[in-house]
C-alpha cells in the first residue's frame, strides 16, 4: 500500500486509531468498511452489501461485528463460491462440498428462500452443517423472524439458543456463537408478530487491528494512482480566488 497511516488527505472516513485505544465506529462506517472488505475478499458487490448489513446490525446491537467479519474473511479469502455457498434443499442446506458455509451467503440465501418451500418455514428443521463465524448469521435470522413471525432454535452438538422476538437472548448468543465455527441445525416455529423495541443500546466498539485488517481487504478494490488520474480529479482552475 502506498499511503501513510496518518495521511489525512485520503477522501474516506477510515478512522485513525492506535493499537490500544477503543475504536468506536458508527453503523454507517461499519457497514461501509465491511462491504468494501467483503468485496476485496472476493464477494460479489450484492453479497458484499449483505456483509455490510450484517456487520452494522451487530454493531447497533452491541456486538463487534467488524471483528467477526474480519475473522471470517481471513478464513474465506480465496475460496470459491462453490465452497462457501449452501445447497438449498428442503431440510438440508449443508455445503455440497462439506466445507464450512459463509454466514453471509447462508443468511442472505435463507432470506431469499423465505417464502419458498426449501426455506426455513414454520415446522421445518434444516441441517446447516459447519458454519464459519456463526454470529454473523444472527442479523439475517432476526430479519426472517420478524418478517415471517417465526421463532428459531439454533442448535449445535453442545448447546442451543432460541432466537425470538425479544432480544434478551443476544448476549447469550454472543457467548455461544462468537466462535470460529459451529455445526448448526436450525428449526423454525410460528411465533407472535414482532413488536419493535424502543430501547437502543450503545454501538459496539471494535479494535484498531480489526480496522487495519478490514482496510487491507478493502484496499484490494482500489486502483493505484497515475498522473492521468491525479490531474483529472479536481478543478482545472485555481481555488485561490
Partner 1 sequence: MSLNTSILSTETLEYMRPATEVMRLARMGCGHPTRLSFLRVLLRRLASSDWKIDRPVWNVDANGVGHGVYRVKSAERTYSLVAFAHDLPPEMRSDRVIATAWDATFTLFDGEPTAEDIARLADNVPYQEAGRISTKELTLARANRSVRLFEHVVNALAQGCQPDPAEIAAVGYLMRTTAVYGSGKFGASDRADIAQRPELAAPFQVEMLTVWLIRAFTVDIVEHIATARGGKTAVKLDRDIRRSLGVGNSTGLGMAPFIVRHPVLLNNWMMAREEALARVRAQPTARSQAVSDLSAALDAAITNARVWHSEHPIQVCKLDELRHDLALLSTTLNTWDWKGEHPWDALWSWGVQTLTFEGQEALLSLMLEPHGALVDDLADHMGADEAASFRIDGAMPVAELRRILETHYAWALAIDFTSPENVARFWYVSEEKLEPRLGERATEDGATLEQPLCIARLMSELHAAVQSFDGTRSVAALMLAHPEHRFAVRRVQIAKRHPYAEVQDNLIAADMLPIDLLRCKLAFFGASQFDPRSDRWVRINLFAGAPFPDDIKAGGAV
Contacts with partner 1, residue ranges (CB under 8 A): 1-3, 6, 8-16, 24-29, 43-47, 49-50, 53, 60, 81, 85-86, 88, 105, 108-109, 111-116, 118-119, 143, 147, 200, 203, 219, 221-226, 228-230, 232-237, 239-241
To partner 1, the closest distance from the beta carbon of 237 in angstroms equals: 5
3 state SS of 74 = helix
To partner 1, the closest distance from the beta carbon of 211 in angstroms equals: 12
Grid coordinates belonging to 120: 426455513
**Residue placing its CB nearer to partner 1 in the complex, 192 or 231:** 231
Q: Which residue has the cell 436450525?
A: 186
Side-chain-side CA neighbours of 218 within 13 Å: the count stands at: 23
Write the DSSP assignment of 75-92 as a string of letters: HHTT--GGGTS---BTTB
Query: What CA–CA distances, in Å, run from 154 to 125, 161, 168, 216?
Result: 10, 5, 15, 33
To partner 1, the closest distance from the beta carbon of 153 in angstroms equals: 23
**Residue placing its CB nearer to partner 1 in the complex, 99 or 203:** 203
To partner 1, the closest distance from the beta carbon of 5 in angstroms equals: 11
**Residue placing its CB nearer to partner 1 in the complex, 113 or 156:** 113
Amino acid at each position: 500500500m502506498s499511503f501513510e497511516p496518518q495521511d489525512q488527505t485520503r477522501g474516506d472516513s477510515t478512522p485513525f486509531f492506535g493499537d490500544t485505544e477503543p475504536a468506536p465506529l458508527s453503523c454507517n462506517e461499519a457497514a461501509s468498511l465491511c462491504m468494501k472488505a467483503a468485496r476485496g475478499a472476493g464477494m460479489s458487490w450484492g453479497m458484499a452489501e449483505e456483509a455490510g448489513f450484517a456487520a452494522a446490525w451487530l454493531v447497533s446491537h452491541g456486538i463487534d461485528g467488524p471483528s467477526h467479519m474480519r475473522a471470517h474473511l481471513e478464513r474465506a479469502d480465496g475460496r470459491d463460491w462453490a465452497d462457501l455457498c449452501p445447497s438449498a434443499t428442503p431440510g438440508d442446506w449443508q455445503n455440497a462440498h462439506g466445507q464450512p458455509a459463509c454466514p453471509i451467503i447462508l443468511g442472505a440465501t435463507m432470506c431469499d428462500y423465505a417464502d419458498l418451500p426449501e426455506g426455513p418455514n414454520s415446522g421445518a428443521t434444516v441441517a446447516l452443517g459447519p458454519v464459519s463465524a456463526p454470529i454473523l448469521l444472527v442479523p439475517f435470522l432476526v430479519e426472517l423472524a420478524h418478517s415471517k413471525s417465526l421463532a428459531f432454535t439454533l442448535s449445535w452438538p453442545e448447546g442451543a439458543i432460541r432466537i425470538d422476538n425479544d432480544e434478551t437472548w443476544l448476549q447469550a448468543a454472543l457467548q455461544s456463537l462468537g466462535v470460529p465455527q459451529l455445526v448448526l441445525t436450525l428449526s423454525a416455529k410460528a411465533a407472535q408478530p414482532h413488536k419493535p423495541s424502543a430501547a437502543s443500546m450503545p454501538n459496539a466498539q471494535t479494535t484498531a487491528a480489526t480496522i487495519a485488517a478490514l482496510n487491507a481487504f478493502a484496499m484490494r478494490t482500489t486502483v493505484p494512482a497515475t498522473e492521468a488520474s491525479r490531474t483529472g480529479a479536481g478543478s482545472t482552475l485555481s481555488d485561490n480566488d
